[in-house]
């Protein structure tokens, strides 16, 4: 569970069915911030930046951090100002956030922010990689082809187009 209110540091606790839960807001909130730049180095104005994760990465358990919260794409967002800056407030001092931006025509940009030092997100032009998957010279049907986080299933009888970052590494 997560509780947040402007002017306070958020709190996260794991809840159990049938057990009352107390969430305590902190009195020393911090901000996590950054700037979004276009490929030419100029600020990107009016872009939507979202938080996908917030948590205390110091408190790791066997399956990951013990205090964390994952957000849906539109749950916690900020819009860049005329200098490309964005800010998320109400973060407990020890917490890390993951921020990201998705803009048509560019590769996704994201970063983890662990303290109050601003980060720079730099957009890169989207690149299109085309190709076919063959086995002994014949197209392979219904193969999953992915680059980075993308893994769509595409029919082998037609050409595949995957938006991705300009660099693709294959082993």
| Distance between CA atoms of residues 166 and 59, nearest Å | 36
Total of domains in the chain = 2
DSSP letter, residue 170 = -
Q: In the chain, what is the straight-line distance between the N-terminal and C-terminal CA atoms, in Å?
A: 41
16 and 76 in a single domain? The answer is yes
Per the model's pLDDT, the better-predicted residue between 69 and 144 turns out to be 144
pLDDT in tens, 49-67: 988 777 766 665 555 555 5
Q: How far apart (Å, rounded) are the C-alpha atoms in residues 122 and 117?
A: 16
User: Is 170 among the domain residues?
Assistant: no
The boundaries of the domain holding residue 47 are 2-122
pLDDT, mean over the chain: 77
Asked if 132 and 89 sit in the same domain, the reply is no
Model confidence pLDDT, tens digit, residues 97-154: 889 898 888 888 889 898 889 999 999 988 777 778 888 888 888 877 766 544 444 4
117 and 131 co-located in one domain:
no
Strands 109-113 and 64-70: unpaired
Verify that 38 and 76 share a domain, yes or no: yes
Same domain, yes or no: 115 and 131: no
Q: CATH number of the domain at 110, please.
A: 2.60.40.1120
Q: What is the model's pLDDT at position 83?
A: 97
Give φ, ψ of 21 to 5 degrees: -125, 135
């Amino acid at each position: 569970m997560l509780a947040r209110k402007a002017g306070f540091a958020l709190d996260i606790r794991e809840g159990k069915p049938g057990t009352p839960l107390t969430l305590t807001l902190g009195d020393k909130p911090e901000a996590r911030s950054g700037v979004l730049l276009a490929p030419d180095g100029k600020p990107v104005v009016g872009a939507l930046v979202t938080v996908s994760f917030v948590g205390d990465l110091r408190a790791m358990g066997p399956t990951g951090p013990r205090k964390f919260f994952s957000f849906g794409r539109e749950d916690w967002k900020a819009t860049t100002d005329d200098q490309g800056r964005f800010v998320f407030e109400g973060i407990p001092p020890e917490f890390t956030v993951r921020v990201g931006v998705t803009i048509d025509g560019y590769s996704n940009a994201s970063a983890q922010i662990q303290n109050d030092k601003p980060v720079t997100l730099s957009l890169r032009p989207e690149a299109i990689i085309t190709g076919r998957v063959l086995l002994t010279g014949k197209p392979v049907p219904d193969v999953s082809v992915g680059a980075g986080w993308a893994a769509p299933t595409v029919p082998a009888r037609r050409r595949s187009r995957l938006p991705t970052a300009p660099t693709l590494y294959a082993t």
